[in-house]
């Protein structure tokens, strides 16, 4: 996939943005607060029709203005189309593809893989974020998963409600109803778990491979799925169901006491280990960043394999905190072909082996291409 051109009006600090990117590598430099991240956000917004960093979609409209529009010309597998996404002052969205209104376009990542500095929270923060990441990616690569998860979440709400009811009313008859809900919860929960494991089985070896490349085999990444069923996965479906039922029975009193379902994929987590040590507690900033980057590159590989087309890679402030070796290894890989946009405050020209890239300087919401003589 290639972004051939992007045009935006009143998007964040850009009054009028017009940008024809390089087909492979685009390096976007500039001082703080000039509009580098805003440019990546505009690209992301056009592809996904939502923003990954706005509380409300209206936030992306330039202050004092009433609406914004981002138009992109995209080439995918020899086909070219024009996509326009507009937001008005009440936050209403309008998507046009080749001039025809498209109401079905579902927000989700459609061909863009993004790294932002906030992604480090994936390692540092609570399990909730790791499950969110997993749910989003599994849902993308395995669309049925979205309905599995919705069903599971619906069952959880009902079951927790029932647990509260049992605690308050102390009626045995409600306990019988709970058994029926248990059965549904187990069946639905196992579907969620098995689909997650199916995607992880592909994603993890790819992330490990990318991690080895970037660290030049110095560090070894392990990614483990920690199931609240406390079983070494993979187990087969039947064994997993038996285990789930068994744990639910064991936790019955505790669950009623807390009015909460204590086991199931909504309590699972992912663990990242570097050379056998948990990266959340022992990893340096650069090591944590390398893990997230490897995961994102693994998503690129998975996307390419599934859709036979390379996604667009947006890397916001990825170089900061990575040492020269890691930066070089990263560039040596992304030079290989997919269209990439990297923002950075400082760019060292010696990081690149060939001159197949464009360098831009962003200043006060204007993008200027850097003269060729700056290059190696
Ligand atoms: N809706 C908006 N209207 C106008 N300006 C905005 C809006 N939202 C954000 N800005 C401004 O855009 C400017 C540029 O932001 P951006 O995040 O793109 O900076 P950056 O170049 O990535 O800087 P850094 O190197 O610090 O990451 C900021 O000063 C911010 O205040
Ligand atoms: Mg920025």
pLDDT digits (tens, 9 = 90+) for 117-155: 999 999 999 999 999 999 999 999 999 999 999 999 999
- For residue 316 and ligand 1, the question of a CB distance below 6 A is answered with no
Please report, for the chain, the start and end positions of each structural domain, with discontinuous segments joined by +: 2-111+311-374, 124-281
Residue 322 pLDDT > 70? yes
Contact 109, 39 (CB under 8 A): no
Question: If you classify domain 2-111+311-374 with CATH, what class do you get?
Answer: alpha beta
Ligand 1 in contact with 62 (CB < 6 A)? yes
pLDDT at residue 108, rounded to an integer: 55
> Is the N-terminal amide bond of 28 cis, ω within 30° of 0?
no
| Averaged confidence pLDDT in the chain | 92
Which one of the ligands is nearest to 346 CA? 1
pLDDT digits (tens, 9 = 90+) for 33-49: 999 999 999 999 999 99
| Per-residue pLDDT tens digits for 50-91 | 999 999 999 999 999 999 999 999 999 889 999 999 999 999
Contact by Cβ (8 Å): 251, 263:
yes
Which residues contact residue 132 at a Cβ distance below 8 angstroms, ignoring those fewer than 6 apart? none
Probe target for ligand 1 pocket from 27, 29, 38, with the most ligand atoms within 8 Å of CB? 38
Enclosing H/E stretch for 369: strand 366-369
124-281: same fold as 2-111+311-374? no
**Is pLDDT of 374 > 70?**
no
Burial category of 202 from C-beta neighbours within 10 Å (exposed 0-12, middle 13-18, buried 19 and up):
middle
The per-residue pLDDT for range 5-35, each reduced to its tens digit, is 999 999 999 999 999 999 999 999 999 999 9
- Dihedral, CA of residue 41, residue 42, residue 46 and residue 50, to nearest 10: 50
Ramachandran region, residue 2 (left: φ > 0; alpha: ψ -120 to 50; beta: rest): beta
Q: Tens of pLDDT along 269-292?
A: 999 999 999 999 999 999 999 999
Atom of ligand 1 nearest to the CA of 65: 3
**CATH number for the 124-281 domain, one of 1.20.1050.90, 3.40.50.1820, 3.90.1150.10, 3.40.50.10190?**
1.20.1050.90
């Amino acid at each position: 996939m290639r972004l051939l051109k992007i045009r935006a009006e009143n998007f964040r600090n850009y009054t009028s943005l017009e940008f024809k990117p390089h087909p492979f590598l685009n390096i976007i430099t500039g001082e703080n607060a000039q509009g580098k991240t805003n440019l990546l956000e505009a690209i992301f917004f056009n592809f996904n029709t939502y923003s990954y960093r706005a509380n409300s979609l209206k936030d992306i409209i330039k202050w004092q203005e009433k609406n914004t529009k981002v138009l992109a010309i995209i080439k995918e597998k020899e086909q070219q189309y024009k996509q326009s996404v507009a937001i008005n002052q009440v936050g209403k969205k309008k998507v046009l593809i080749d001039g025809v209104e498209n109401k079905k376009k579902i927000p989700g990542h459609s061909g863009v893989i993004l790294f932002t500095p906030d992604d480090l929270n994936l390692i540092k923060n609570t399990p909730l974020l790791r499950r969110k990441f997993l749910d989003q990616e599994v849902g993308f690569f395995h669309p049925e998963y979205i309905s599995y998860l919705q069903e599971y979440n619906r069952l959880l709400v009902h079951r927790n409600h029932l647990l509260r009811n049992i605690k308050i009313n102390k009626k045995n008859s409600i306990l019988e109803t709970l058994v029926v809900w248990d059965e549904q919860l187990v069946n639905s929960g196992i579907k969620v778990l098995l689909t997650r494991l199916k995607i992880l089985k592909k994603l993890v070896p790819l992330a490990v491979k990318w991690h080895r490349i970037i660290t030049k085999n110095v560090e070894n990444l392990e990614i483990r799925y920690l199931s609240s069923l406390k079983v070494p996965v993979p187990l087969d479906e039947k064994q997993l169901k038996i285990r789930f039922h068994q744990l639910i029975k064991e936790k019955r009193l505790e669950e009623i006491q807390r009015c909460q379902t204590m086991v199931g994929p909504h309590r699972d987590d992912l663990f990242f280990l570097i050379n056998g040590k948990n990266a959340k507690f022992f990893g340096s900033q650069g090591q944590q960043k390398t893990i997230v980057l490897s995961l994102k590159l693994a998503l690129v590989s998975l996307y390419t394999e599934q859709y036979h087309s390379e996604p667009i890679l947006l890397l916001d402030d990825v170089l900061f905190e990575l040492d020269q070796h890691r930066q070089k290894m990263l560039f040596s890989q992304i030079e290989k072909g997919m269209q990439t946009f990297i923002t950075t405050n400082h760019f060292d020209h010696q990081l690149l082996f060939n001159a197949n890239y464009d360098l831009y300087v962003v200043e006060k919401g204007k993008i200027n291409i850097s003269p060729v003589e700056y290059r190696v």
